[in-house]
Amino acid sequence: MKRTLLAIAYVAAGFAVATPALADLQLATAKNCMACHAVDKKLVGPSYKDVAAKYAGQKDAADKLAAKIIKGGSGVWGPVPMPANAQVNADEAKKLAAWILTQK
């Protein structure tokens, strides 16, 4: 009985840990971020893994990315500009930026 309860607890803990990452991928998909970006390969824009590597160790990386998500930008990754995302609010941009920075 203890083994069964322990197994159930491990499975539940696994879902709890996996849920935030999945939720942020769902948010990125819902906000059309995945139309130009992928987690592990370049599309129109850089992969999220490349973005995370570029900003690794920068204290203000999440704030920089959140602002870029909302306002857009150009010149950081080449000639193709990233358009502004008016459909993304500040809280969503922070969640997306934090998730992007966790990609390895």
CATH code for the structural domain at 2-101: 1.10.760.10
Q: Which two tokens stand for residue 10?
A: 């491990």
Helix, strand, coil percentages (3-state) for the chain, rounded to 5, are: 60, 0, 40
pLDDT at 4: 46
CA 76/CA 8 separation, integer angstroms? 46
Q: Which two tokens stand for residue 32?
A: 């059309």
Q: Which two tokens stand for residue 78?
A: 């080449």
With 50 as the cut, is the pLDDT of residue 78 above it? yes
- Give the relative orientation of helices 90-101 and 61-71 as an angle to the nearest 10 degrees: 130
pLDDT at 21: 56
pLDDT category at 7 given cuts 50, 70, 90 is: very low
